[in-house]
Structure 1
Amino acid sequence: MEAPTNTETRWSRVASSLPVRNVQDLATDSEGLTEETLKRYIRLDIQEDEVLAEHSGEVPVINLGKLFNPDFAEEESARLRFACEDWGFFQLVNHGIPEEIIASIRSDIERFFKLPLEVKNAYAQLPGDLQGYGQAFVVSESQTLDWSDMFVIIAHPNEARDMKYWPVKPHTFRKSIEDYSSELMKTAHSIVTVIAKTLNIDLELMGDKYVCQYLRMNYYPPCMTMAEKVLGFSPHSDGSFLTLLLEVNSVEGLQIKRRDAWIPVKPDPNALLVNVGDFLEIMSNGKYKSIEHRVTINTKQERLTLSAFHVPSLDGVVSPVTGDAEERALYTTVGVEEYSKLYMSNKLDGKRALDHAKLL
């Protein structure tokens, strides 16, 4: 096996996470599922937040094809601008990724997480590494843990890949990842092209802002006894420029924070869920918002998703772009590597990382 290149090492070691017990294994251990075992996962404050269930499914829907159709582009671009300004999230339909590629990656993710633990552990995170099968954002032995497992790889650029983490089981998995990653880069480019127009920003200024792609496969086991007391993912905004989420099995769980309440997002199997990341909020000078979101747990069904984080080059910087001389910059210029390390080396805590970039 080839030794990792400097590019691979630098990319994967932006931050690391402390090892914790596999949650999928814990969830199936009926004898070991005691209150003592679960105490690191229990959150006493979940019920304090209002959940507006009746608003489920109201996330704006954007048709990618219409964005590039002269007959509909102006109207659809206005909808995209509203979605980024007012919601920070939108469902992207007619995204152009072939159905067979979507079906393959969904099938292989489901099959991977059904593999025996010892097989999955062959891809376990190594000390000091971000990639692999395990966890993220675990920085102390005392913090409350999320009820989930994840598998992270860097898919783009090619020189940042560390192939020891690319699974050979299922045998089609590597091809599925490659095909999906490639198609998703095209989709991200299309979205950013229109976003640049809606912000009146030269597309060349955005050219290096989404060139790197992390894929994170998320597995949220059911929790029959204490689902209302645990979270699959703590409240956070994304330390990306743009995030594209694929619902693998369409089980509900994602909630976004809007006007101080949590709104459940109804999965759409035919759409990609897109959200604004911290770097885009900075570059847009706060016009487009990275929104807090969290994942709740189902009592009976597992939830699987694939998050694709498109982030700037580590060598780059992100600065707020103001519309004119009278518009005051609300954020400082941030180095991408510095911000990524800050974001990844702390436990998730709302938009706390972005607060470091805000100017008073």
Structure 2
Amino acid sequence: MEMETPRSSETRWSRVASSLPVRNVQDLATCCEGLTEETLKRYIRLDTQDNEVLSEQSGEVPVIDLGKLFNPDFAEEESARLRFACEDWGFFQIVNHGIPDEVIASIRNDIEKFFQLPLEVKSGYAQLPGDLQGYGQSFVVSESQTLDWSDMFVIIAHPPQARDMRYWPVQPHTFRQSIEEYSSELMKTAHSIVTVIAKTLNIDLGLMNDKYACQYLRMNYYPPCMTMAEKVLGFSPHSDGSFLTLLLEVNSVEGLQIKRYNAWIPVKPNPNALLVNVGDFLEIMSNGKYKSIEHRVTINTNKERLTLSAFHVPSLDGVVSPVTSRAEEKALYKTVGVEEYSKLYMSNKLDGKTALDHAKLL
């Protein structure tokens, strides 16, 4: 494996926090000892049924056509739909996003192949102490906390000088190229989305240029849990500590749920769309007009779920301030340092929107 090292100060993103090593969940799910209550005791939750699940509303997340946002004949109407989605849902599906089908097919195929590799091969890309990048888990900060039923693989993809090639897999052999192509195309898509978001908020785009400058990719693997799927979660309820997150469903297995009016709404995967959600930094910058929404991942009884989350985050040296559109509008959030907020977010177990509470003035 190549031992290239990163050169940019942006690599500090990978050192914002670290996670304690825990057992590989994919391996546990297939182990011969069986998925008993004893082997699952660190994963079993008592709160999975705390809120109602409204399955009849599945698939109602607003759909936005990116092409229409830049077509003079449809731009005004589609921009209004985008504004509504950010204000009322905090999530939307983006179609006609412009990423070539072959680029998406390649990254999907290589992610599936990577997680099919033997554990000893994947472990060659394991997280190093003090680093968020690599193969393992995140947000494990104590030996006693309840664990999520998932494995993940994280790399910094943008800017290029921030990449640590030790973590970029050489198996499957096309993986590095797939990551490079997808990351590049996704940066273009993110720029287009942010351009329109700036217009809907009446914020100078120049103020947003550094707010999504860094991109880190997290490949998520949620094994099935045949015996106690209803008692474990793939990801704890949380909002994203990003500016904007773009999610690609790799294999269209359901599991994502978003919190809306104190109930959980299952999101039906759309193979032709990217799922976009507002992050904490965008909520702060919009002064609460656009909301980062709690979401979680549930587990299937007999099917694995794979996704690729792309977190677009501000430059670590920067600050994010609420932008008020009127002189009489009161700021509802503090100005936060990106590094300070990110350390707070990443160094604690996931717990709803508690990290964002530290940024609120009221």
Asked if these proteins are the same fold (TM beyond 0.5), I'd say yes
Mapping of residues 1-360 of structure 1, within 5 Å = 1-5=3-7, 7=9, 9-360=11-362
Identity of aligned residues (%): 89
Q: Give the Cα separation in 1 of the matches to 2:93 and 2:16.
A: 30
Distance in 1 between residues matched to 2:245 and 2:198, nearest whole Å:
16
C-alpha separation between the residues in 2 aligned to 1:257 and 1:48?
A: 12
CA distance in 2, matches of 1:14, 1:32: 36
Separation (CA, whole Å) in 2 of partners of 1:293 and 1:195: 21
Q: Match of 2:176, SS?
A: helix
Secondary structure of the structure 2 residue equivalent to 1:112: helix
Query: 1:222-273 CA distances to partner (integer Å, 9 max, x unpaired)?
Result: 0000000000000000000000000000000000000000000000000000
**Partner of 1:337: helix, strand, or coil?**
helix
Q: Point out where structure 2 has 5 or more consecutive residues left out of the alignment.
A: none
Counterparts of 1:91 and 1:300, CA distance in 2 = 26
**2:255 touches 2:297 (CA, 8 Å); kept in 1?**
yes
Contact in 1 for aligned 2:93/2:273 (Cα 8 Å): yes
2:227 alignment partner AA: T
Tell me the distance in 1 between the aligned counterparts of 2:5 and 2:299.
39
RMSD between superposed Cα atoms in Å: 0.8
Tell me how far apart the structure 2 counterparts of residues 29 and 49 of structure 1 sit (CA, whole Å). 32
SS of residue matched to 1:213: strand
SS at match of 1:79: helix
Residues 11-47 of structure 1, C-alpha deviation per residue, up to 9 Å, x if partnerless?
2101100000000000001314322110000001112
Indicate the SS of the match to 1:234.
strand
Structure 1 unaligned blocks of 5 or more: none
**Distance in 1 between residues matched to 2:23 and 2:229, nearest whole Å:** 18
CA distance in 1, matches of 2:162, 2:7: 8
Deviation at 1:140, TM superposition (A): 0.1
Structure 2 CA distance for aligned equivalents of residues 124 and 32 of structure 1: 25
The C-alpha deviation readout for 1:92-127, integer Å capped at 9, x for no partner, is 000000000000000000000000000000000011
The separation in 2 between residues aligned to 1:339 and 1:30, in whole angstroms, is 42
4+ runs deviating over 2 angstroms: 1-9
1:178, distance to aligned residue in structure 2 (A)? 0.1
Question: For 1:86 and 1:2, how far apart are their aligned partners in 2?
Answer: 45
